[in-house]
Amino acid sequence: MVDQEPSAISRRRTLGGALAGGAAFAAGGLLNGCAARSDVRRRDTADPWRQFAGCTLNFVSENTAPTSAIAADAERFTALTGIHVNIVTLELSALVQKVALDLASGQSQYQIIYADSYQVLAPYADGLVDLREPASDDSLPGDDSDLADFFPLQMDVSGRFGEGDRVLALPYDCATMIWQYRRDLFEAHHDRMADDLGFDPTPGPQRSWEEYYRIARWFNDNVDEVSYGTGHQAKQHDSLMCDFSNVLFAHGGQYFENGEHVGRFGAVDPGPSTLGSEEALAGAEFYSRLLSIADPASTTWDWTGLGAAFAAGRVAMCPNWHEFAADNERALPGKVGYTTLPSGPARSANMYGGAGIAINGNTAPNERAAAWLFLKWATSRKTQLRNLTGEVGGATPTRSSIYSTPEIRRAQQRPTGMPTMLTAPAVQQAWKPEYSGLRPKIPMWNECDTAIYTELSRMLAGDVAPHRAMRDARDHIDRIVSRGWVAAE
8-state DSSP, 32: P
Which residues on neighbouring strands pair with residue 176, listed in sequence order?
A: 352
Neighbours of 167 (CB within 10 A): 22
8-state DSSP, 59: E
Whether 56-175+354-402 shares its CATH topology with 177-350+435-483 is answered yes
Neighbours of 234 (CB within 10 A): 28
Is omega for the bond preceding 152 within 30 degrees of 0, making it cis?
no
In contact, 235 and 305? CB cutoff 8 Å: yes
List strand residue ranges (DSSP E) for 81-122, in order: 84-90, 112-116
Q: Are strands 84-90 and 56-62 parallel, antiparallel or unpaired?
A: parallel
The three-point CA angle 294-303-187 to 5° equals 55
In contact, 294 and 232? CB cutoff 8 Å: yes
Residue among 379, 413, 118 at smallest CA distance from 245: 118
Tell me what pLDDT residue 392 has: 66
Tell me what pLDDT residue 14 has: 30
Q: What is the Cα 128 distance to its own chain's centre?
A: 20
Helix (H) or strand (E) holding 402: none
What is the rounded CA–CA span in Å between residue 422 and residue 388? 12
Domain definitions of the chain by residue range: 56-175+354-402, 177-350+435-483
In contact, 306 and 277? CB cutoff 8 Å: no
Three-state DSSP string of 404-418? HCHHHHHHCCCCCCC
Tell me the HSE value of 114 on the side-chain side, using a 13 A CA sphere.
Answer: 28
Tell me what pLDDT residue 146 has: 82
So what CATH class is 56-175+354-402?
alpha beta
Per-residue pLDDT of the chain (489 residues; tens, 9 = 90+): 444 443 333 333 333 333 333 233 232 233 444 444 688 899 999 999 999 999 999 999 998 888 989 999 999 999 999 999 999 999 888 999 999 999 999 989 999 999 999 999 999 999 999 999 999 999 998 766 688 999 999 999 999 999 889 999 999 999 999 999 999 999 999 999 999 999 999 999 999 999 999 999 999 999 999 999 999 999 999 999 999 999 999 999 999 999 999 999 999 999 999 999 999 999 999 999 999 999 999 999 999 999 999 999 999 999 999 999 999 999 999 999 999 999 999 999 999 999 999 999 999 999 999 999 999 999 999 999 988 877 766 689 999 999 999 999 999 999 998 999 999 999 999 999 999 999 999 999 999 999 999 999 999 999 999 999 999 999 999 999 999 887 654
In contact, 327 and 14? CB cutoff 8 Å: yes
The three-point CA angle 413-414-420 to 5° equals 70
Question: Amino acid identity of 305?
Answer: G
In Å, what is the CA distance from 343 to each residue of 283, 292, 479? 12, 20, 32
- Rounded to 10 degrees, the C-alpha dihedral 316/318/324/329 comes to 20
What is the rounded CA–CA span in Å between residue 149 and residue 135? 14
Tell me what pLDDT residue 393 has: 61
What is the rounded CA–CA span in Å between residue 23 and residue 107? 26
Q: Which own/partner pairs from 160-166 qualify as long-range (CB within 8 Å, at least 24 positions apart)?
A: 160/265, 160/266, 161/121, 161/122, 161/125, 161/265, 161/266, 161/441, 162/125, 162/265, 162/266, 162/267, 162/268, 163/265, 165/132, 166/125, 166/130, 166/132
In contact, 49 and 380? CB cutoff 8 Å: no
In Å, what is the CA distance from 376 to each residue of 19, 69, 112, 171, 420? 22, 15, 12, 11, 23
What is the rounded CA–CA span in Å between residue 50 and residue 370? 9
> Which CATH number does 177-350+435-483 carry?
3.40.190.10
8-state DSSP, 481: H
